[in-house]
Amino acid sequence: MEQIKDIQELSVEEAISTLESSKEGLSKDEVEKRFSSFGPNEIQEKRITPLYVKLLKQFFNFFAILLWVASGLSFLGEYLAPGEGNINLGIALVVVIFINAFFTFYQEYKAERAAEALKKLLAPTAIVLRNNKEEEISANQVVVGDVIVLKEGDKVPADARLLEQYELKVNNAPLTGESVSLKRSVDPFKGSILEAKNVVFSGTTIVSGSGKAIVFAVGMGTEFGKIAGLTQEIKEDPTPLQKEISYFIKYISLIAILLGVTFFLVGWSLGNTFTANFIFGIGIIVANVPEGLLPTVTLTLSIAAQKMAKKNALIKSLNSVETLGSTTVICTDKTGTLTQNEMTVKKVFVNDQEYDVSGVGYKPEGKLQLDGKDIEEKEIESIIPLLKTSFFCNDSKITFNENKHSIIGDPTEGALLVLAKKIIDT
């Protein structure tokens, strides 16, 4: 059986029949068969380059090779003419190469580790129906044809077509960047699957309600997996900075070699010894090598990367900093894709008074302010009923995981719940 297309256009019965499943779920034998066919429900990575290979690459980029040649010539000069100080220059060049290589490797290693956090967008476990019994399994064990049980706060483990739903709303922000909760339906839908109201996607969250759905795509076959696959297939072209430095190195290397050869020939014509001329030529070549360029560029880009990291912008490659700096226009559709997907109450208007609310995100810490001054609870009796209503007539929940507050439920209700917790003792 192959993963099917346009499942959103089928009725519930047609979808179940096409996937050769049932509302009671799959049998154990059928699950094993399909797992063998489709593999685990997880995002597959391209072959990972070993860390030692990534480190070695830093020692043998074009500019590093130039420094290796310069240091080698310095050591050769020390061998031919001891005591001239060439060995100190050679050692200094090697130190520059090592410092730059380890520093660049460390920066990119940190970025890759941070990028792995994206995997947390996927559900760790899932509740499925098998032989008409609910089972909680690891999400990577979900197969095509499984019937998954969805409830408020769950992350969807795979792309699935809804079989039944009760006031079900989803947050598709991981796929679309839009934080608005979307209502779901079981009715057939004509149009793009990304806009289908009867489909839930891997990595998205159930904001409210409950339901059941039948899985039609897993792993790299999901919409989330397709996006991951596209990012892995991107070919890395040289950045403008890399092109300029490469051109500069070739140009300066040619000049250095020509000068070295020229002075060698001039010295030879003046009757100097071969050794003296050779040492002098080496000195000319090494002197024209800009040893400080590599660490200067690396340090500058690293400082920029650190500043961007503080603003939650992740830089996987230092050269990308310069590319981003060359950007003049960024095209985006609207503000929904640029926000943090955290709804926050900032102002409250009661009895002809406009109050400001401090604090950001879902962290339940803040104050009610009037004209820039904090207002105590006893001074705002008129607003207490509103806050209590926001607290008690609310189905959302505040959670705290990995040093961050988040909400389970509707973002609007979550914002009102946070408001109540900020102001009154709950």
What pLDDT shows up at residue 232?
67
* pLDDT higher than threshold 60 for residue 248: yes
Which position has the higher pLDDT, 336 or 275?
275
Which of the four pLDDT bands, split at 50, 70 and 90, describes residue 146?
A: very high
Which position has the higher pLDDT, 117 or 137?
137
Which of the four pLDDT bands, split at 50, 70 and 90, describes residue 78?
A: confident
For 163-207, what is each residue's pLDDT tens digit?
999 989 998 887 877 777 889 999 999 988 988 999 999 989 898
Q: Is 333 designated active site?
A: yes
Which position has the higher pLDDT, 230 or 268?
268
**C-alpha distances in angstroms, 275 versus 71, 76, 349?**
18, 11, 88
* pLDDT higher than threshold 70 for residue 116: no
Describe the strand order of the beta sheet including 353-357 as a list of residue ranges. 347-350, 353-357, 368-370, 373-374
Mean pLDDT of 120-145: 86
Beta bridge partners of 214: 147, 161
Q: Can you give the pTM of this predicted structure?
A: 0.63
AA identity, residue 362 = Y
For 322-377, what is each residue's pLDDT tens digit?
777 777 887 776 555 556 667 888 998 887 888 888 888 888 888 888 887 877 66
* pLDDT higher than threshold 90 for residue 109: no
Q: What is the spatial distance between Cα 70 and Cα 67, in angstroms, rounded to a whole number?
A: 5
Mean pLDDT of 66-88: 79
Q: What is the spatial distance between Cα 43 and Cα 47, in angstroms, rounded to a whole number?
A: 13
What pLDDT shows up at residue 44?
76
37 neighbors 213 (Cβ within 8 angstroms): no
Which position has the higher pLDDT, 196 or 321?
196
Q: Which domains, from first to last, does the chain contain?
A: 7-43+122-226 (2.70.150.10), 51-116+236-299 (no CATH), 347-423 (no CATH)
Q: Which ranges of 147-272 would DSSP assign to H, the alpha helix?
A: 173-176, 223-232, 240-269
**C-alpha distances in angstroms, 136 versus 119, 129, 199?**
20, 9, 21
Q: Mention every residue, 6+ apart, whose C-beta is less than 8 A from residue 265.
A: none
**C-alpha distances in angstroms, 246 versus 128, 250, 253, 286?**
56, 6, 11, 18
Which residue in 146, 333, 356, 374 is the catalytic one?
Answer: 333
What pLDDT shows up at residue 1?
53
Exposed e or buried b for every residue in 247-260, given b needs 16+ CB within 10 A? eebeeebeebeeeb
Length of the chain: 426
User: At 74, is the secondary structure helix, strand, or coil?
Assistant: helix
The whole-chain average pLDDT of the chain stands at 81
AA identity, residue 7 = I
Structure tokens at 291: 């040893």
